[in-house]
Amino acid sequence: MQVYVLLAIMTLAAAQKNSQSSCLHEMLATSELQVINSKNFPQQYSDNTDCQWTLVATGRNQVRLTVWTAVTEECCDIITIHEGYDKDAPIIGTLRGNITNPATYTSSFGAFTVSFITDGSVTASGFIAYYSLAFTNETTVLNANIFEQTLTSPNYPSQYPNNFSQSWIIEAPPNHIIVFRVQDFSTEACCDSLTIFDAVDNYFRVLATIRGRNRTFEEYRSSSGALLIRLSTNEAVSNRGFRAVYQSIPEDLENIEEIPPPPLCKEDFIVPSQGHGEFSSPVIANQKYGNNMKCLWTITAPHPDQRIRLWFSYVQTEACCDWIIVTDGLTKDDRTLVHLGNKYYLRLHMTSTGPTIKVEFLTDTSGTAAGFRAVYKLHTGL
């Protein structure tokens, strides 16, 4: 199959050969597949090459670029993909050596710049790539305030779509900045990514690109009043995606303590030597938990060589957005035992591998339910 696709791309490349007689190209992306390639591909490129292709989309569209194959001198002949209109734009990809698996990129706004620079010795067949407009949902604008709000990938925590691109612009009130925190993340490590951009003087600067399974999350802050969040996926393999929270804070960080925090509930339990203990989600009104909650319970056995048995007698939360996360230990790097939400669970049991368990309960800005009840005791089995 790959051979036939490559032949089709090379046919397109031959048709465009006359348009690539120089080494500086500005090309308009359309819905049709178009090609860029190193000079003479698949024959050898020249030494001391310095070529550049700027691929531009119209309107609010994005560009999708796939480098189909590449063979270059690994040390010194480099293909670089920039997120923007020139080589000063942020770098989102660097390719060299023997690239046999297609690499796909989707722009976060309207342009890519591809550069190919070689040194004065050793050449190879170079590269061939194709590009087109990316079929994407409209960019969604979100208004931040002083309380945490939730942003998730489509279908979270079920699998996000393949061959998909989605952008969110988060805007703050005047004299505020945006704080963005990722709480859960899992994508295809090679090819599906979440990119966080800072809006600086009408230009987007990359703060971070996250992919794979990431359990150590930083806090990202805008330098002014907006962040751009971009999810890009390829045509194969999907995962549960991401969950994040965002809020606005004053630019003058000396006044940060004046901001009322979101509702917080926190308690530490010691497992009784006999019998059991229990706890439940806080009741705010009408026998339901509240919005914007961030609860944390830690459960510790009396001795470090003991383990803990935990179960839920019932669970009922908002299906899309309110979650119970149980961790086998107290640190961010410890294993998640279960990620619960939506339905009733009758006596769902789990056992720690050590003397501690952490239970988190996170809710968004809308929709509540009855919540949950959890029961714990010392594990007495093998």
Q: What is the pLDDT along the chain (382 residues), one digit of tens a residue?
A: 444 444 444 444 444 443 344 688 989 888 777 899 999 999 999 999 999 999 988 766 778 898 988 999 999 999 999 988 888 888 888 999 998 888 888 887 678 999 999 999 999 999 999 898 875 555 688 999 888 888 999 888 888 988 787 888 898 988 889 999 888 888 988 888 888 888 765 456 778 888 888 655 678 999 888 898 888 887 778 888 998 899 988 887 544 444 444 445 788 899 998 888 888 888 765 677 877 788 899 999 999 999 999 988 778 888 778 888 899 998 877 888 887 777 655 557 889 999 999 999 888 877 888 888 888 999 887 5
Tokens coding 109: 């706004």
β-strands 348-351, 336-340 pairing? unpaired
Q: Which residues contact 66 (CB under 8 A, 6 or more apart)?
A: 102, 103, 104, 105, 129, 130, 131
With CA atoms as reference, report the closest residue to 208 among 189, 227, 190.
227
295 CB neighbour count, 10 Å cutoff? 20
Tokens coding 129: 């790539």
140-258 in CATH: which number?
2.60.120.290
With CA atoms as reference, report the closest residue to 27 among 75, 69, 2, 63.
63
Tokens coding 29: 């992306």
104 CB neighbour count, 10 Å cutoff? 21
How far, rounded to the nearest angstrom, does the alpha carbon of residue 66 sit from its chain's CA centroid? 20
CATH number for domain 2-134, candidates 2.60.120.290, 3.40.50.720, 3.30.110.40, 2.30.30.180: 2.60.120.290
Q: Where are the domains of the chain?
A: 2-134, 140-258, 264-378
264-378 in CATH: which number?
2.60.120.290
Q: Which helix (H) or strand (E) segment is 283 a member of?
A: none
Tokens coding 260: 């009322």
Q: Specify the DSSP class assigned to residue 73.
A: -
Query: What is the C-alpha to C-alpha distance for residues 71 and 180, in angstroms, rounded to an integer?
Result: 39
Most distant CA pair in the chain, distance: 83
The answer to whether the 140-258 and 264-378 domains have the same CATH topology is: yes
